[in-house]
Amino acid sequence: MKKLLLLACSIISVNAVANDFFAKADLDAGKALIEKNCISCHASSYGGDGSEIYTRPFHKVETSKGLLAQVRTCNTNLDLKWFEEEEFNAAAYLNKHYYQFEQ
Ligand code: HEC
């Protein structure tokens, strides 16, 4: 029971943190990061300006938390060494322009 409660609390706090950071994120900085590091590969696999990957039917990301997790995974896999704040800026930019999750 205690474990369940702890798990519930950590899920709630991750959501709260994500929303808080999304609200305060620097969208222009996020846009610049994405344009520099992310778009060309998406465009070469999915065509167009590279944004179809976010808007394609059955896209992978379903929640703001999932979006942040995906940005983190890309950051790590590509070894970009973004700071956490940069991950939030990039995720917030993608959310504002493509995913539009409320929370
Ligand atoms: C080397 C190529 C490559 C680079 C660079 C890359 N991506 Fe991706 N990305 C992919 C591929 C391929 C997928 C689709 C994965 C899948 O369908 O399982 C993807 C999927 C995604 C998705 C999920 C789209 C959906 O379906 O909702 C997001 C968000 C994303 N990438 C963000 C980023 C960000 C942010 C960066 C830059 C830090 C980045 N990617 C850099 C290849 C790349």
CA distance 5 to 100: 30
List CB contacts of 56: < 8 A, sequence separation 6 or more: 46
Nearest C-alpha neighbor of 71 from the set 45, 102, 43, 99? 99
Ligand 1 close to Cβ of residue 41 (< 6 A): yes
Question: Ligand 1 centre from 30 Cα, in Å?
Answer: 15
Determine if ligand 1 sits within 6 Å of the CB of residue 53: yes
Alpha-carbon distance of 78 to 17, in angstroms, equals 24
What percent of the chain stands above pLDDT 70? 79
Cα separation, 96 vs 69, in Å, equals 16
**Which atom of ligand 1 is found nearest the CA of 94?**
29
Number of Cβ within 10 Å of residue 17's Cβ equals 14
Of all protein residues, the one whose alpha carbon is nearest to atom 11 of ligand 1 is 42
Model pLDDT, residue 9 = 43
- Give the tens place of pLDDT for each residue, 18-34: 667 678 899 999 999 99
